Amino acid sequence: MSKRRYVARGVPGGYRIWDNKGRRWWGDLYELCPDELTAELNGGADPDKITALMKRYRALKR
């Protein structure tokens, strides 16, 4: 199994997505773990679906 490029990591205040290849944070701070978003980034990477998931996770509150 290959190493995933994007992983969600816990940071103070929520979660951020870490880009293993670029070695930097990707996207915004999310309060809930963005599992579907990281799966899409590592999988098909459809831009419309990624945008919709980003908006959804940004709007979710604990």
From CA 54, how far away is CA 57, in angstroms rounded? 5
pLDDT at 12: 95
Average pLDDT over residues 29-49: 92
Where are the chain's structural domains? 6-59
Confidence bin at 6 (pLDDT 50/70/90): very high
Alpha helices in the chain (DSSP H): 35-42, 47-59
pLDDT at 23: 96
Residue 30 backbone phi and psi in degrees, to 5:
-115, 140
From CA 60, how far away is CA 52, in angstroms rounded? 13
Q: pTM score, two decimals? A: 0.85
Reported as type and span, the H/E element at residue 9 is strand 6-11
pLDDT at 9: 96
pLDDT at 1: 53
